[in-house]
Amino acid sequence: MENLQAILQSSTPVLIDCFATWCGPCQMVPPILKEVKDKLGDQLRIIKIDIDKNQQLSAQWQISSVPTLLLFRDGKLIWRQSGVVPAHQLLPILKQQLL
């Protein structure tokens, strides 16, 4: 897999799903992200990061609850949201950020 820093520096926005395997609400996120990917295609890259396996990143990004979605573009965090966000709410937010 590519280096995460290189991916985050990309001009293509990167949506990161910070999750934990023990988290019930986290199980609701994959179908939402599939719908987002189906609608936005190559305009957005989606990555899942297990906070228990990546504790350093979790601390760096100050993840205090899961699921948390982080949106990066050009290496900068441009949006974040904790909790489950339904696709019909997430899509307009992402489309606005993709402009």
Q: Report yes or no: 91 and 79 within 8 Å, Cβ to Cβ.
A: no
The pair of structure tokens assigned to 64 is 């205090």
Other beta carbons within 10 angstroms of residue 31's beta carbon come to: 10
Among 26, 66, 90, 94, the active-site one is: 26
Mind giving me the DSSP string for 45-90? EEEEEETTT-HHHHHHTT--SSSEEEEEETTEEEEEEES---HHHH
Active site residue 26: yes
Among 4, 7, 20, 23, the active-site one is: 23
Return the active site residues. 23, 26
